[in-house]
């Protein structure tokens, strides 16, 4: 255990959640005494309880309650996890809400004794990963997420915060156990035989080759070191397409419980790596070549556009720095480093989803094992090419070209 849990803490159930809601003064403008209140537990993530709660006669009056469990839900109480992550998430949501309110769910309150946040129910939005699996496109996503990344990463960096605030913020967001999950699941376990790995046996030859690739290990070690030591900006820390809710008009970023001060490229890479996993999955998910090409074009255009928007929206940060301290050549080198980090971290995020404990529906949800192996093989080839090729990348189009130039190795020949 990580310290003691509050004596008031009890995991909510569908039987207790309604009384809890009625007890909260912050919710009196949403739910009235006369209401019949209904609730369902909908958490399908790896860690927490999530309840949707609504008034029976007016389902538009609705909220979500997210409560931390003291262990990893995916595995059980053999893997304890600090409930302090709920505080981290609430404080990150507060910052995101200030910087990009249009992309952050409204928070009604945080209960520090129940490790629970009450927030807007994004009822009209879908987890982006589910939409991408279906081949749905989101025309505003690139602009929205590019802006989200520029604002949240730029405004929390040393380029904007004063020296003291930045260091106090780094301290406030120290998140060791959640970072340790990332360090192990993303930077360690996929590259060795490990009991927590979960790849399907058909892909084993390619996994074993990757696990024997010493040059790859050196690159991953480099990225791990950067993840652990570069307190560049306040990261979301887990910005995959399961942490994004979308519809045709809007984009919301949820679930920043892995937030900490780390390298910007980790968040940008998470988005791009997951878009590339979707790209790989449609090698088999979309059988019609014309449809496949169109959807993949959407994915690659999105990657290019989100980076361009990120750079454009980051420009006001550069416009405000002292040009003697940070001349244009430094600024360009900084952005190039972020781009190369993006490629490397995105690639590590792809490999972990194929080999490691927590997979993603895009790939692991493919039922036919041959199809799944093709998509997994392509994902791994894209990821290895990106990790190894990232030092030469100077433009986002080059990142896309490296990834889209790959083919699956499966089925094996010879
Ligand atoms: C044991 S937790 C596995 C994963 O779930 C979260 O969403 C993070 O991605 C973490 O790595
Ligand atoms: Mg999450």
| Reported confidence tier of residue 200, pLDDT bands at 50, 70, 90 | very high
- For 126-177, the pLDDT digits (tens) are 999 999 999 999 999 999 999 999 999 999 999 999 999 999 999 999 999 9
Is a pLDDT exceeding 80 seen at residue 365?
yes
Q: Please, what are the domains in the chain?
A: 17-120 (3.30.200.20), 126-404 (3.90.1200.10)
Tell me the average pLDDT across 306-334: 98
Among protein residues, the one with the nearest Cα to ligand 1's atom 8 is 238
Q: Around Cβ 228, how many Cβ atoms within 10 Å?
A: 15
Half-sphere exposure of residue 123, counting CA atoms within 13 Å on the CB side? 12
Is a pLDDT exceeding 80 seen at residue 3?
no
Are 213 and 192 in contact by the 8 Å Cβ rule? The answer is no
Q: Which two tokens stand for residue 108?
A: 């009604």
According to the model, what pLDDT value does residue 91 have? 98
Is a pLDDT exceeding 90 seen at residue 366?
yes
Among protein residues, the one with the nearest Cα to ligand 1's atom 5 is 46
Residue 337 and residue 160: Cα distance in Å, rounded? Answer: 18
DSSP state of 148: H
Give the percent of the chain with pLDDT over 90.
96
Is a pLDDT exceeding 90 seen at residue 283?
yes
> Given ligand 1 and candidates 236, 358, 359, which is best to mutate, with the most ligand atoms within 8 Å of its CB?
358
| Reported confidence tier of residue 298, pLDDT bands at 50, 70, 90 | very high
Starting from the CA of residue 178, give the closest ligand. 1
According to the model, what pLDDT value does residue 46 have? 85
- For 261-278, the pLDDT digits (tens) are 999 999 999 999 999 999
Q: Categorise residue 76: left if φ over 0, alpha if ψ from -120 to 50, beta otherwise.
A: left
- For 322-331, the pLDDT digits (tens) are 999 999 999 9
358 lines ligand 1 (CB under 6 A): yes
Among protein residues, the one with the nearest Cα to ligand 1's atom 6 is 46
Determine what percent of the chain falls in helix, strand and coil, rounding each to the nearest 5.
55, 15, 35
Residue 371 and residue 386: Cα distance in Å, rounded? Answer: 23
| Reported confidence tier of residue 244, pLDDT bands at 50, 70, 90 | very high
According to the model, what pLDDT value does residue 302 have? 99
Among protein residues, the one with the nearest Cα to ligand 1's atom 3 is 358
| Reported confidence tier of residue 414, pLDDT bands at 50, 70, 90 | low
270 lines ligand 1 (CB under 6 A): no
> Given ligand 1 and candidates 185, 197, 241, which is best to mutate, with the most ligand atoms within 8 Å of its CB?
185
**Average pLDDT value over all residues in the chain:** 97
Q: Which residues contact 383 (CB under 8 A, 6 or more apart)?
A: 273, 276, 347, 348, 350, 351, 354
Tell me the average pLDDT across 390-396: 98
Give the percent of the chain with pLDDT over 70.
100
- For 90-112, the pLDDT digits (tens) are 999 999 999 999 999 999 999 99
Tell me the average pLDDT across 367-380: 98
| Reported confidence tier of residue 280, pLDDT bands at 50, 70, 90 | very high
| Reported confidence tier of residue 201, pLDDT bands at 50, 70, 90 | very high
Are 128 and 117 in contact by the 8 Å Cβ rule? The answer is no
Report pTM: 0.98
Q: Which two tokens stand for residue 168?
A: 């106090």
Q: Specify the 3-state DSSP secondary structure of 52.
A: strand
According to the model, what pLDDT value does residue 396 have? 99
Cα(181) to ligand 1 centroid in Å equals 7
Q: Per residue, what are the HEC states of 70-122?
A: CEECCCEEEEECCCCHHHHHHHHHHHHHHHCHHHCCCEEEEECCCCEEEEECC
Cα(258) to ligand 2 centroid in Å equals 8
According to the model, what pLDDT value does residue 140 have? 98
Residue 15 and residue 208: Cα distance in Å, rounded? Answer: 48
| Reported confidence tier of residue 222, pLDDT bands at 50, 70, 90 | very high
Starting from the CA of residue 43, give the closest ligand. 2
> Given ligand 1 and candidates 43, 68, 69, 238, which is best to mutate, with the most ligand atoms within 8 Å of its CB?
238
| Reported confidence tier of residue 284, pLDDT bands at 50, 70, 90 | very high
Q: Which two tokens stand for residue 14?
A: 């569908």
Cα(313) to ligand 1 centroid in Å equals 29
Are 375 and 409 in contact by the 8 Å Cβ rule? The answer is no
Tell me the average pLDDT across 51-79: 95
């Amino acid at each position: 255990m990580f310290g003691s849990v509050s004596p008031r803490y009890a995991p909510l159930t569908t039987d207790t959640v309604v009384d809890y809601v009625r007890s909260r003064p912050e919710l009196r403008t949403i739910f009235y005494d006369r209401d019949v209140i209904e609730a369902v537990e909908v958490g399908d993530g790896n860690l927490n309880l999530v309840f949707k709660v609504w008034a029976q006669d007016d389902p538009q009056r609705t909220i979500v309650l997210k409560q931390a469990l003291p262990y990893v839900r995916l595995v059980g109480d053999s893997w304890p996890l600090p409930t302090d992550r709920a505080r981290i998430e609430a404080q990150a949501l507060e910052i995101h809400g200030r910087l990009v309110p249009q992309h952050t769910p409204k928070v009604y309150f945080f209960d520090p004794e129940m490790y629970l946040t009450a927030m807007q129910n994004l009822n009209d939005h879908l987890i982006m990963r589910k939409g991408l699996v279906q081949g749905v496109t989101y025309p505003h996503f690139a602009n929205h997420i590019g802006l989200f990344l520029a604002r949240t990463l730029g405004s929390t960096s040393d380029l904007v915060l004063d020296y003291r605030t930045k260091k106090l913020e780094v301290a406030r967001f120290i998140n060791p156990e959640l970072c340790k999950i990332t360090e192990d699941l993303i930077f360690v376990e996929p590259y060795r035989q490990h009991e927590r790995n979960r790849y399907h046996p058909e892909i084993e030859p390619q996994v074993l080759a990757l696990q024997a690739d010493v040059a790859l290990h050196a690159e991953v070690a480099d990225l791990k070191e950067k993840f652990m030591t570069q307190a560049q900006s306040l990261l979301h820390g887990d910005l995959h397409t399961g942490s994004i809710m979308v519809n045709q008009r809007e984009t919301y970023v949820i679930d920043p419980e892995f937030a900490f001060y780390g390298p910007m490229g980790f968040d940008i890479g998470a988005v791009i790596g997951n878009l590339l996993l979707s790209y790989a999955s449609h090698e088999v998910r979309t059988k019609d070549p014309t449809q496949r090409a169109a959807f993949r074009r959407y994915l690659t255009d999105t990657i290019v556009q989100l980076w361009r928007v990120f750079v454009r929206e980051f420009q006001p940060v550069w416009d405000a720095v002292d040009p003697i301290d940070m001349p244009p050549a430094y600024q360009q080198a900084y952005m190039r480093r972020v781009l190369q980090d993006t490629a490397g971290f995105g690639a590590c995020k792809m490999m972990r989803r194929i080999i490691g404990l927590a997979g993603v529906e895009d790939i692991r949800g493919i039922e036919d094992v041959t199809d799944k192996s093709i998509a997994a093989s392509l994902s791994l080839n894209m990821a290895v090419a990106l990790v190894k090729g990232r030092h030469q990348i100077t433009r986002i189009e080059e990142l896309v070209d490296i990834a889209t130039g790959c083919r699956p190795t499966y089925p094996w020949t010879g």
